[in-house]
Amino acid sequence: MNTKLRRNDAEDSRIDWGVILSVLLLAVIGIVSIYVAANHDTSTTSIARAMISQAIFYALGIGLVIFVMQFDAEQLWKVAPIAYGLAIFLLIMVLFLYSRSYALMTGAKSWFAIGPLTFQPSEVMKPAYILMLGRVVTQHNTEYPNHTIQGDWQLIGKMVAWTLPVAVLLELQNDFGTMLVFFAIFGGVVLLSGISWKIIIPTFALVALFGGLLIFLVVYDRSALLSIGFKDYQFKRIDSWLDPSANTSSSAYQLWQSMKAIGSGQLLGKGFNVSKVYVPVRESDMIFSVIGENFGFVGSCVLIFIYLLLIFQMIQVTFDTKNEFYAYISTGVIMMIIFHVFENIGMSIGLLPLTGIPLPFVSQGGSALIGNMLGVGLIMSMRYHYKSYMFSNNEEFN
């Protein structure tokens, strides 16, 4: 009888309930926030349609999590190049079949549209890219277990070779914000890959110097940046970031309204479904303004704490599984979520420039939600199959 109970406990432990609880809490916050945004939005989107649409995508995301959980490390290894190839194909196809209406609204050729439904292929590219990058690094480190400067540069070259097609296609789509997410994933995997700090520190210093130079040129000499492909709307976003109060009626309007809404929430917020400050696109990109206005500083801190809890649990899964390939996968997923959270909240409060990055599991948007749920599925797969392996090799249960 005791053996049977232990067997059931071992089977239950294969599922990471902590990750599930964190995502569920974020889903509840998302649904509530979308309800508030839709209830006070001046657009024609109905409350019922917004809620049902998000619920359907959550249901689809749960199905994908269960599906991805069935793949163990060996199967994910084999699937990686296939998933990457299919995602690249979708990124190419969207350049020809993109939604004209969305391109006019956002300036990016990033969405397929079928009737009222839209799909952004770059969101599913993220988990596919993470898988491929994890495979490339694991394979290199297996072939070259002793790290040398020359070998590390070869590894960087391999990683860049798989990143470059994604970056080029996103540039052709005018989707710089999404490109930054891939750079964040790339940077996280580089830090964990074992590459020498003699390479990492100078490289990151050069990147920081380059970023500072870009800001300097934006302020003092934009002609140089225009000549290499920068767009006027990108300059406007940086202007709004550097001085949000300078032009609150046009380019800085969205940021200024978001800051007003969050600030008006003060410590405890105005209360549920109380929204007196209009914020454009608050149901997706600016969803944090809803949380700040309704639930104040305390509610915002609770949201951030849930994200920290989710990240901690993902890191814990990585240490428990002790698998190099899994470690790179989880690093990619963690960096993807961290960057989304940091950028979305940062741009909502004026800390960072506007980029159109959604808040994971909270913002309205099916494509982003599916991409994040696929990432959760990869993390859940790690725990699921590691516990399965431990269970099958435990003599006490044989």
- Alpha helix locations (H) across the chain? 2-12, 17-39, 47-69, 73-97, 100-106, 121-143, 149-172, 176-192, 197-220, 222-227, 232-242, 253-265, 287-321, 324-348, 366-392
Distance CA 23, CA 359 (A): 12
What are the domain boundaries of the chain?
2-87+115-145+155-193+253-397
Cα(238)–Cα(252) distance, rounded to whole angstroms? 10
CA nearest 379: which of 322, 331, 308? 331
Q: Encoding tokens for residue 340?
A: 């989304």
Rounded Cα distance, 171 and 59, in Å: 32
Residues of the chain with pLDDT under 50: 1, 5, 44, 389-392, 394-398
C-alpha dist (Å) from residue 3 to 8, 10, 15, 280, 395 = 9, 10, 20, 58, 11
Q: How many CB atoms lie within 10 A of CB 333?
A: 27
* Integer Cα distance of 262 and 277 in angstroms: 9
Candidates 272, 317, 310, 307; CA nearest to 293 is 272
pLDDT digits (tens, 9 = 90+) for 131-185: 999 999 999 999 998 888 999 999 999 999 999 999 999 999 988 889 999 999 9
Per-residue pLDDT at 6: 52
> Phi/psi at 193 (nearest 5 deg)?
-75, -10
Token digits for 109? 């050729």
Question: Do residues 94 and 112 lie in contact, with contact meaning Cβ atoms separated by under 8 Å?
Answer: yes
Paired tokens of 292:
């700040």
Amino acid in position 265: G
Greatest alpha-carbon span in the chain: 77
Q: What is the pLDDT of residues 178-213, one digit of tens each?
A: 999 999 999 999 999 989 999 999 988 998 898 888
Amino acid 219: pLDDT: 76
pLDDT of residue 5: 47
> What is the end-to-end Cα distance of the chain in Å, rounded?
14
